[in-house]
Amino acid sequence: MQFLPLFFSLKDRPVLIVGGGEVALRKASLLVKANAMVHVISLNVKPELDALISKTGGQVYTRAFEKNDALGKTLIVAATDNKEINARIAKDAGELNIPVNVVDQPELCSFIFPAIVDRSPIIAAVSSGGSSPVLARILRAKLETVLPSAYGRLAQLAEKYRIQVKQTFSHVNLRRGFWEKVLTGPVADLVFAGKEHEAEALLSKELNSKTETKRELGEVYLVGAGPGDPDLLTFKALRLMQQADVVLFDRLVSQPILDLCRRDAQMINVGKARSDHLVPQEGINQLLVDYAKKGHRVLRLKGGDPFIFGRGGEEIQELTENGVPFQVVPGITAAAGCSSYAGIPLTHRDFAQSVRFVTGHLKNNTTDLPWSELAYTNQTIVFYMGLMGLPIICNKLIEHGMSKDTPIALVQKGTTPEQKVVIATLDTMVKTIENQEISAPTLIIVGDVVSLHSKLKWFDPNLSLSI
């Protein structure tokens, strides 16, 4: 993150703009809208800018900028058409520890202006860190279409009753439940329909009757986070991620996905690696029950799909035995995601009419699998958690009749920018990766469909390695 997004109160604070052209006018209009006291210094000032500053109580100085002009200012905007002057302003501001924005020179900025969606008091801001202002404006336009102006009126109504709601419901969970009901239910619908008086009457009625959902018993959301790419999340998964109070997440859940969870949620890492369980499975089960019984909405976030080698069945069995309500949201399992991003179809009319998902790491820490059933032709085998057992997998498949020339793929961190694909055969794969840095999570795909990788690979081909 190059810039930390902040919402800065400028009400009645002195702000300096150096420059008097069209760009300075745009910046001044924005700052005036934020109730800042704007002053302008420039040898030439547009009449519209002069009128705006005079109307709002600021001062216009038709002269060159001097360092002393920066003293006492809350922030400075350098908007001249002279890069040397802009650089000097940035230097002077930096020496005085005053935030400065230099138009079209992000490398000199200590703050930048985002593209803004104004639904006051709701404000949404989008920034590219100065790398692509046009892209930021495009994204702002998309936000404009999904944020009706009525959201501002809804926020004003909520602000009006905020203290009263806090006095009525002493527990934060009860307040949150009440507001969620108000802001997503009939009250919000009335505001969006332009019936603010009716909306306020209904809100007051619900507040007085205390008809909020009292969450004496919470709920658990068992959600599949997919193989790593945040764009592969389902809509339902994202909605539950953003409303959960507590999040228990696995090691395989990528940081970009965790960043989509509600910002104020309690985050608990229960990640498991081979022979290294940060929290034992029994402990995870108990945490889900305990937090739910305290009235929390608990998100159990798992890489891939909860019911495919994710031990989701064990967790909901514990919830059922304790009378805890739950929802299960499927995710794209690693086999589907990684094979697709590697350009390897799991089934193909000419190569494989069936596919088998197999764990390469069994409960008893062995790879004691039904090898004779796996060593079939016209079948694709996908091994989860098989990196440590790769030599055994290759040897056993050959030993039970599979050709040593059968292609095999190892997909590391599939669907992410760090994806790496290694292609070899059962006979050569172990030697192929001897001098390569391969780490979990990895997926192993065995079968003739792997031969299609060279033709069908489409995702970040520069990160793929074919042997």
Q: Which residues have C-beta within 8 Å of that of residue 295, sequence separation ≥ 6?
A: 173, 215, 216, 217, 218
**DSSP three-state, residue 241:** helix
What is the rounded distance in angstroms from the CA atom of residue 281 to the CA atom of residue 99?
Answer: 50
Is-catalytic flag, 250?
yes
How far CA 277 is from CA of 285, 303, 387, 389, 438, in Å, comes to: 13, 15, 18, 19, 21
3-state helix, strand, coil in the chain (%, to 5): 40, 20, 40
The span from the CA of 141 to the CA of 372, in Å, is 58
Beta strands in 108-241 (DSSP E): 115-119, 122-126, 219-224
> In angstroms, rounded to a whole number, what is the distance separating the alpha carbons of residues 349 and 355?
12
Annotated catalytic residue: which of 245, 250, 396, 457? 250
Cα torsion angle, 150, 151, 157, 160, sign: negative
Rg (CA), the chain: 29
DSSP state of 304: B
Going across the sheet that includes 219-224, the strands are 266-269, 246-249, 297-302, 219-224, 326-329
Tell me the DSSP string of 1-54: --S-------TT-EEEEE--SHHHHHHHHHHHHTT-EEEEE-SS--HHHHHHHH
SS3 (DSSP) at 288? helix
Cβ-defined contacts of 28-36 (< 8 Å, 24+): 28/52, 28/53, 30/113, 30/116, 31/77, 32/56, 33/118, 34/10, 35/10, 35/11, 36/10, 36/11, 36/12, 36/74
CB count, 10 Å around CB of 58? 20
Dmax (CA) for the chain in angstroms is 89
Number of residues that this document lists for the chain: 467
The set of residues, in sequence order, having a beta carbon less than 8 Å from that of 324 and lying 6+ positions away, is 217, 218, 219, 220, 288, 289, 292, 293
Q: Residues 272, 290, 427, 448: which is the catalytic one?
A: 272
Q: Is 272 a catalytic residue?
A: yes
Q: What are phi and psi of 449, to 5 degrees?
A: -60, -25
Catalytic residue set: 250, 272
